[in-house]
Amino acid sequence: MTEKALRLGTRRSKLAMAQSGQVAEAVHQVTGRPVELVEITTYGDVSRENLAQIGGTGVFVTALRDALLKGEVDFAVHSLKDLPTAQPAELVLAAVPPREDPRDVLIARDALKFTDLPRGARIGTGSPRRMAQLNAYARAHGLDIETVAIRGNVDTRIGYVQDGELDAVVLAAAGLNRIGRIDEVTDFLSVDTVLPAPGQGALAIECAADNAALIAALGELDDPFTRVAVTAERSLLAALEAGCSAPVGALADLPPLSAPLERGGSQADGQFVKEMRLRGVVGTTDGTRMVQLSTTGPVPQTHDQAWALGRELATEMLAQGAAGLMGERAH
Ligand SMILES: NCc1[nH]cc(CCC(=O)O)c1CC(=O)O
């Protein structure tokens, strides 16, 4: 007897296919059911227009969500950082699997590290968040770099370095890991230098809110710590009223080991973690102005607690003028 396959809606890009394939295998493991990939082409995949003009990376998500709502597919996998902070009532994030490396990385010519780039080096990124923090670090440390706006898929971006057009590009470690190109990284950027995008490195598995059996099955893949962490990060983004192309970084993780251990708190293995640190940054893309704050407290136990944590930090950031730094559009 053959069991009916679960249909996984996915974009056709190499990154989307890689992460959907990995989730398909994991879902097959926990459900015992075959999983079939259903390719969905989005406007964002075919258009050469500036992503900001067609509504940011949310366009990729919309087509997948439409397919879910129409019942054409049973579930979808998103890069959490590309997911708008508003959750449609008919859909639910059934699982947020354990987060991979959240860091941004540099792929530079001649195996160069960020701080070894020569004067006038041109660094490509389409992200105002990366531009803001790279330029702020450069200003503070006497580096002379120029950030250059680029777009395109991961292979295209790396191509700019290979063909000599740029000295370096900045990408997410998680994406490179998933497509098998992590070996080309020349420098892993500390999150103290470049705070990642809210949700970076995490995936979201989404399905219809009324499919209780599927929600329960997919829930096996959920990692509660990752879920509260990304919830706090996305709450910060939402409370700043910023979109996925705004110059906003956020990361919730374990506090530095020494502090909580002295107070008898966290264990690094995640089993007895009691505290979480949430960091947020907003800056102008030229790196001249920044608001960067953090808060450390008990690990939120519910969605609402995680959401409240992000909102509290956003309120403090807004009090320090964060809103005035977000006026620029992605370009
Ligand atoms: N903006 C595109 C995007 N969306 C998700 C990833 C991969 C990393 C992740 O899952 O967080 C990437 C590529 C990148 O930023 O380098």
User: For residue range 192-246, what is the model confidence (pLDDT) as tens digits?
Assistant: 999 999 999 999 999 999 999 999 999 999 999 999 999 999 999 999 987 667 8
- Identify the pLDDT of residue 329: 46
Instruction: Tell me the CATH class for 6-98+202-222.
Output: alpha beta
Query: Active site includes 207?
Result: no
What average pLDDT does this structure show over 170-190?
A: 97
Report the nearest-CA residue for atom 2 of ligand 1.
Answer: 82
Query: Active site includes 244?
Result: yes
172 lines ligand 1 (CB under 6 A): yes
81 lines ligand 1 (CB under 6 A): yes
Among candidate residues 11, 65, 130, 178, the one labeled active-site is: 130
245 lines ligand 1 (CB under 6 A): no
How far away, in angstroms, is 81 Cα from ligand 1 center?
7
- Identify the pLDDT of residue 52: 47
Residue 53, pLDDT > 60, answer no
* Cα distance between residue 61 and residue 235, in whole Å: 19
Residue 33, pLDDT > 80, answer yes
CA–CA distances in Å: residue 154 to residues 55, 111, 125, 149, 158: 20, 18, 11, 14, 6
Among candidate residues 103, 157, 227, 279, the one labeled active-site is: 157
- Identify the pLDDT of residue 263: 52
- Identify the pLDDT of residue 241: 85
How far away, in angstroms, is 97 Cα from ligand 1 center?
16
User: How confident is the model over 68-125, as pLDDT tens digits?
Assistant: 999 999 999 999 999 999 999 999 999 999 999 999 999 999 999 999 999 999 999 9
Among 15, 176, 251, residue to substitute to test ligand 1 (most atoms within 8 Å of Cβ): 15
Residue 270, pLDDT > 60, answer no
Q: Where are the domains of the chain?
A: 6-98+202-222, 104-188, 227-325
How far away, in angstroms, is 122 Cα from ligand 1 center?
21
- Closest approach atom of ligand 1 to CA 196: 11
Report the nearest-CA residue for atom 1 of ligand 1.
Answer: 82
Q: For 326-331, which contacts have Cβ atoms below 8 Å and span 24 or more sequence positions?
A: 326/240, 326/242, 326/246, 326/247, 326/248, 326/282, 328/128, 328/247, 328/284, 328/285, 329/52, 329/245, 330/50, 330/51, 330/52, 330/56, 330/126, 330/127, 330/128, 330/245, 331/50, 331/52, 331/149
Q: Are 6-98+202-222 and 104-188 equal in CATH topology?
A: yes
Instruction: Please report the sign of the dihedral spanned by the C-alpha atoms of residue 202, residue 279, residue 147, residue 55.
Output: positive
* CA count, 13 A, side-chain hemisphere, 144: 3
The CATH number that domain 104-188 falls under is 3.40.190.10
Among candidate residues 129, 178, 234, 277, the one labeled active-site is: 129
- Closest approach atom of ligand 1 to CA 200: 11
Look up residue 233 and give its two tokens.
């990060």
Among 10, 79, 134, 158, residue to substitute to test ligand 1 (most atoms within 8 Å of Cβ): 79
Domain 227-325 has CATH 3.30.160.40: yes
Q: What is the mean pLDDT of the chain?
A: 90
Closest alpha carbon to 327 in 297, 294, 283, 288: 283
pTM assigned to the model: 0.91
Band (257; pLDDT cuts 50, 70, 90): confident
User: How confident is the model over 1-22, as pLDDT tens digits?
Assistant: 568 899 999 999 999 999 999 9
Query: Active site includes 82?
Result: yes
- Identify the pLDDT of residue 331: 35
